Amino acid sequence: MLTALTINNLPLTIYFSACSGHAINHSPFRRQLTSMLSPLSFPIFAQKFSRMRIAVVGATGLVGTKMLQVLEERQFPVTELVPVASERSVGKMVKFAGKEYAVVGMQQAIDLKPAIALFSAGGATSTQWAPEFAKAGITVIDNSSAWRMAANVPLVVPEVNAQVLKATDKIIANPNCSTIQMVVALKPLHDAFSIKRIVVSTYQSVTGTGVKAVDQLMNERAHGSSDVMAYKYRIDLNAIPQIDVFLDNGYTKEEMKMVNETCKIMGDNSIKVSATTVRIPVMGGHSESVNVEFNKPFELTKVRTLLQQASGVVVEDDPATQLYPMPMNAHERDEVFVGRLRVDETQPNTLNMWIVSDNLRKGAATNAVQIAEYLVTNQLV
């Protein structure tokens, strides 16, 4: 957690080992942070942290609400929150860290000059407003897909490629949830054995669609039908093999996000990805069946060791005790859970694995807040 101290009359804010119930959730970041912090940076920290105004754009949505929760839980040094939402929500009160803040509109938020704005208000809002915030010197961390593939915009999963971030980056893209959890688990294996091809099928939570989809599922479960429909079809007792719109090549936009974002985050365009994304009536997180072919041979024991040592990864893999990751257990956790590790016996150098993570946390809010933490600890804002 972040703790304020004074040394030689300088107010210092340092990261301090948390010993709360969230200790497991936050340990990967703390390990990363320990290696990033140096005593020389403390006075600069103090100046910055004494005035850390943070905006959350889309503060009343499912991901925006989760961003507020994660900022508060991780004790990010928010000295003043600027909750931003659509005109119809302006003036509503939002609770954060024991205080109430009034929701403001876009221009008012820019005028308040927050250091960082976490955006989760949809692609159209990000396309229009992220450049306006950036022009005002505000660093935007955007959860929409609007900027992810723009050449000059870094697409960041801190455990994988935080090192690409620079102080001059004023728009930073948070990747798609299904991509984030996959690359966190695959990066250490790519470094060791060089990934040639990934075949992934997803089983995605309705929370990825938003509140309307949660309402549809709950209504259908309670009454057999729903008056609010986020999907064309019933989702309860069903599996819908379409996430986002279809593109000309017959794949959905969600599937192509997994293809393109994986290469960009890994910094390796040679990785081939074939994806099928499916919505299922689940709430806790997204699950993925991943078949990965490497250029080099591997030992299963080495794969297990690498994953056990990887930042942000928890291995849950014991067939003897029926231990494997499930969205129910990943819910409200920040880590990526990996299990069902098996050699694919049908072709050389190929591994099967099962990857689960809370899509609203590591797949969205936590990843965005981790980027903000990295910017602050490395004096990039």
- Active-site residue set: 177, 286
**Least spacing, CB of residue 165 vs ligand 2RA, in Å:** 22
Can you name the residues that pair with 139 across neighbouring β-strands? 116
Is 254 one of the binding residues for ligand 2RA (CB under 6 A)?
A: yes
- Nearest residue by C-beta to ligand 2RA? 208
The stretch near ligand 2RA (CB under 6 A) out of 26-34, 164-172, 183-191, 203-211 is 203-211
Provide the token pair at 159.
Answer: 């455990």
Is 106 one of the binding residues for ligand 2RA (CB under 6 A)?
A: no
Per CB under 6 A, contacts with ligand 2RA among 154-193 are 176-178
User: Which CB sits closer to ligand 2RA, 254 or 288?
Assistant: 254
Measured CA distances, 230 to 28, 183, 234, 279, 325 (Å)? 35, 28, 9, 12, 27
User: Which CB sits closer to ligand 2RA, 243 or 353?
Assistant: 243
Q: Report the alpha-carbon distance of residue 5 to residue 14 in Å, rounded.
A: 7
User: Which CB sits closer to ligand 2RA, 81 or 140?
Assistant: 140
Q: Are 142 and 169 in contact (CB under 8 A)?
A: no
Listed residue (124, 273, 117, 254) closest to 186, CA to CA: 273
Q: How many chain residues are in contact with ligand 2RA, going by CB under 6 A?
A: 9
User: Which CB sits closer to ligand 2RA, 243 or 351?
Assistant: 243
Provide the token pair at 292.
Answer: 């990965």
Burial 276-294 (b: 16+ CB within 10 A, else e): bbbbbbbbbbbbbebbbbb
Is 60 one of the binding residues for ligand 2RA (CB under 6 A)?
A: no
DSSP summary character for residue 17: -
Q: Is residue 136 packed enough to be buried (19+ CB in 10 Å), middle (13-18) or exposed (0-12)?
A: middle
Provide the token pair at 104.
Answer: 């403001």
Is 356 one of the binding residues for ligand 2RA (CB under 6 A)?
A: no
Is 61 one of the binding residues for ligand 2RA (CB under 6 A)?
A: no
**Least spacing, CB of residue 349 vs ligand 2RA, in Å:** 29
Q: Report the alpha-carbon distance of residue 243 to residue 177 in Å, rounded.
A: 12
Is 243 one of the binding residues for ligand 2RA (CB under 6 A)?
A: yes
Q: Are 286 and 178 in contact (CB under 8 A)?
A: yes
**Least spacing, CB of residue 143 vs ligand 2RA, in Å:** 8
**Least spacing, CB of residue 178 vs ligand 2RA, in Å:** 5
Is 204 one of the binding residues for ligand 2RA (CB under 6 A)?
A: yes
Is 370 one of the binding residues for ligand 2RA (CB under 6 A)?
A: no
Can you name the residues that pair with 292 across neighbouring β-strands? 198, 351
For ligand 2RA, the binding residues (CB under 6 A) are 176-178, 204, 208-209, 243, 254, 359
